[in-house]
Amino acid sequence: MASMQDHRPTTTTTSTSAPHAERVARLRDQVSGLPDGAPVRLAKGTSNLFRTRTGAGTLDVSDLTHVLHVDPDARTADVEGMVTYEQLVDATLPFGLMPMVVPQLKTITLGGAVAGLGIESASFRNGMPHESVLELELLTGAGEVVLARPDNEHRELFHGFPNSYGTLGYATRVRIALEPVRPFVRLRHLRHTSAESYFAQLAEVCTTRSHDGEPVDFVDGTVFASDEHYLTVGTFVDEAPHTSDYTWLDIYYRSIQRRGEDYLTTRDYLWRWDTDWFWCSAALGVQNRLVRLLLGRKRLRSDVYWKAVAFERRHNLAARWERLRGRPDREVVVQDIEVPVDRAADFLDFLHKEVPISPVWVCPIRQRDRTQWPLYDLDPETLYVNFGFWSSVALDPGEPADTHNRLIERTVAEMGGRKSLYSASFYPQDEFWSLYNGPVYRGLKQRYDPGARLPDLYDKCVRGR
């Protein structure tokens, strides 16, 4: 079968630089037009954050949604900050290329993934999305547009932007490195009955980048129970004897328990989790085959589910129903954390005992090089394991509403790990800044947002301001 590169487009530009400059100028004018001291916030219709957002948005960034340029020879893409990964993948795949890390949900934006981190099954070899960024054009809280590179006068902002969550500035344009792809991905789902053997094989596969004599391009996993762990290894291939379709009636995560081997097109592989929001679509009743048939492919998407969840959260319908039925209050636990691989079995055992959520997503990650990213500092020599768990847990009478989340935060810190801030956080202020490098953050804040017009990282991620 011919490779994707044999049929790549002859043009590499989907927009021009002049309109981009005009769009950024309009955004800067919006900031200038705000009253002195008025807070600056993005006005966004959707979000992939699972924590409370308060305060009205003031900046309309809906125009910054263009893939500006794809260079198949240099393997780079210039992209505006509000471009979704779905748009970006659609622009790069025709060239036989893709971003080095593609977060699992289609409507995550590139600017959001760089400012708020991201992880996927290529992360054991490519790290996080910000590690493939070559340069950043940013609108700062001071209303200035700066170009930050790893080697220019704004290099401290370049390295400090990841994990800043829009509190130091907003990405208006991002240049990223791309990598070549092949048309299909072959999957092998490897079952383990013990956590020890499971993480031992995960570490071996990530170190050798191979399994059973074949190269491995992707690694993630799913834990269904304390004796049912699946390690999924993916390999790019040029041909496939068949391909599965998990974009409508069939459910990807259920196939993991039923198939030892599977094949997907590369595009379908990248979005294998989006159709059912991993497995969270079950809570919305859309894993019923008849419901899926009636909804159709276009509505089986994470952004559609998110709107339903946002409506429920505004009206608190589920909690009211549970109280009417005499059920105990429940604590929402939506978290992604990383711990070193040698503590992964311990953390999973902790989850089974203290926070009984199932399934649990597992994804290994290693930093690409020795670059320091001060607001989310990982040891470049260490393989980490990300655990994603998203559900709710019953509270015992008298337990505070943050009981399980605080226990998770303390345990992760004790194990030398890190916790993503896209979800609700409950850290005391001193603890938060000791974990997320308060001195470096305050220095960047003073330089690029001296008027504090953008929110403070602690206020935004913990206090919900």
Percent of the chain with pLDDT over 70: 91
As a whole number of angstroms, the distance between CA 81 and CA 97 comes to 19
Per-residue pLDDT, 5: 44
Count, residues in the chain:
465
pLDDT averaged over every residue in the chain: 92
- The tokens of 209 are what? 């980048």
* Interstrand relation of 59-60 and 42-43 (parallel, antiparallel or unpaired): parallel
Q: From residue 11, how far is each of 73, 79, 139, 266, 464 by CA, in Å? A: 12, 16, 29, 22, 44
185 in Cβ contact with 262 (< 8 Å): no
Please report the domains of the chain, with CATH numbers, ordered by start residue.
4-180 (3.30.465.10), 316-426 (3.30.70)
As a whole number of angstroms, the distance between CA 322 and CA 101 comes to 39
Percent of the chain with pLDDT over 90: 82
As a whole number of angstroms, the distance between CA 356 and CA 393 comes to 7
329 in Cβ contact with 395 (< 8 Å): yes
Per-residue pLDDT, 7: 47
Query: In a 10 Å sphere around its CB, with 0-12 CB exposed, 13-18 middle and 19+ buried, how is residue 292 labelled?
Result: buried
The more confidently predicted of residues 38 and 331 is 331
Q: Is-cis flag, bond preceding 359, omega within 30?
A: yes
Amino acid at 269: Y
As a whole number of angstroms, the distance between CA 309 and CA 315 comes to 10
> What percentage of the chain's residues is helix, strand, coil (to nearest 5)?
35, 25, 40
Q: Please enumerate in sequence order all residues whose Cβ is within 8 A of that of 212, keeping only pairs 6 or more positions apart, or say none.
A: none
pLDDT digits (tens, 9 = 90+) for 238-273: 999 999 999 999 999 999 999 999 999 999 999 999
pLDDT digits (tens, 9 = 90+) for 28-68: 999 888 887 778 877 765 565 655 555 555 788 889 999 99
As a whole number of angstroms, the distance between CA 365 and CA 201 comes to 15
